[in-house]
Structure 1
Amino acid sequence: MKSPVHRCRDVDHGRGQTGTVAVSECLQAEQRIPVSKDVITSSSTSGLWFIRDTCGIVCAVITWLLVFYAEFVVVFVMLLPSKNLIYSVVNGTVFNSLAFLALASHLRAMCTDPGAVPKGNATKEYIESLQLKPGQVVYKCPKCCSIKPDRAHHCSVCRRCIRKMDHHCPWVNNCVGENNQKYFVLFTMYIALVSLHSLVMVVFHFLYCFEDDWTKCSSFSPPATVILLILLCFEGLLFLIFTSVMFGTQVHSICTDETGIERLKGETGKWGKMPCWEAMQEAFGGPLAFSWCSPFTGLSCRKDSEGHAAVMQGEIIEEDVITIPLS
Structure 2
Amino acid sequence: RRLLPGSHRRNFERKPECFQSEKCVPPSHPYPTGAMWFIRDGCGIVFAIVTWFLVLYAEFVVLFVMLIPSGDYMYSAINGIVFSVLVFLALASHCRAMLTDPGAVPKGNATKEFIESLQLTSGQVLYSCPKCCSIKPDRAHHCRICKRCIRKMDHHCPWINNCVGEKNQKYFVLFTMYVALISLHALILVGFHFLHCFEEDCSSFSPTTMTLLIFLGLEALLFLIFTSAMFRIQMLSICTDETGIEQLKKEDRKWAKKTTWVNLKAVFGHRFSLGWASPFVMPNQGKTDGYQHVI
Q: TM-score, normalised by structure 1?
A: 0.81
* Residue 61 (structure 2) pairs with residue 77 (structure 1): no
- 1:311 aligned residue: 293
Letter in 1 for 2:293: V
What does 1:179-218 align with in structure 2 at a 5 Å threshold? 179-216=167-204
Distance 1:50 1:257, change over 3 A: same
Letter in 2 for 1:224: T
SS of 1:139's equivalent in the other structure is: strand
CA separation in 2, counterparts of 1:119 and 1:224?
53
Distance 1:186 1:179, change over 3 A: same
2:259 to 275, 286, 291: 275
Distance 1:283 1:248, change over 3 A: same
Gaps of 5+ in 1: 1-7, 27-37, 314-327
SS of 1:55's equivalent in the other structure is: helix
2:96 to 88, 102, 108: 108
Letter in 2 for 1:128: E
CA separation in 1, counterparts of 2:253 and 2:7?
32
The answer to which structure, 1 or 2, has the higher relative contact order (CA under 8 A, 6+ apart) is: 1
Contact 1:49 1:112 in 2 (8 A): yes
2:231 to 247, 253, 277: 247
- 1:150 aligned residue: 138
Q: Compute the displacement of 1:303 (Å).
A: 6.0
Letter in 1 for 2:244: G
What per-residue deviation string (whole Å, max 9, x for no partner) do you get for residues 16-69 of structure 1?
x9753524339xxxxxxxxxxx98993235321000001100000000000111
1:51 to 23, 36, 39: 39
Gaps of 5+ in 2: 15-25
- 1:228 aligned residue: 212
Contact 1:21 1:124 in 2 (8 A): no
CA separation in 2, counterparts of 1:179 and 1:283?
8
CA separation in 1, counterparts of 2:149 and 2:100?
15
2:278 to 285, 289, 294: 294
- 1:139 aligned residue: 127
SS of 1:22's equivalent in the other structure is: strand
CA separation in 1, counterparts of 2:123 and 2:27?
20
- 1:325 aligned residue: none
Between Structure 1 and Structure 2, the one with more strand by share is: 1
Distance 1:308 1:47, change over 3 A: closer
Contact 1:283 1:299 in 2 (8 A): yes
Q: RMSD of the alignment, in Å? A: 2.5
Between Structure 1 and Structure 2, how many residues are aligned?
284
What does 1:124-135 align with in structure 2 at a 5 Å threshold? 124-135=112-123
- 1:3 aligned residue: none
CA separation in 2, counterparts of 1:45 and 1:159?
18
What per-residue deviation string (whole Å, max 9, x for no partner) do you get for residues 187-221 of structure 1?
000000000000000011111122333344xxxx5
CA separation in 1, counterparts of 2:28 and 2:141?
14
CA separation in 2, counterparts of 1:147 and 1:90?
53
Q: Compute the displacement of 1:132 (Å).
A: 2.5
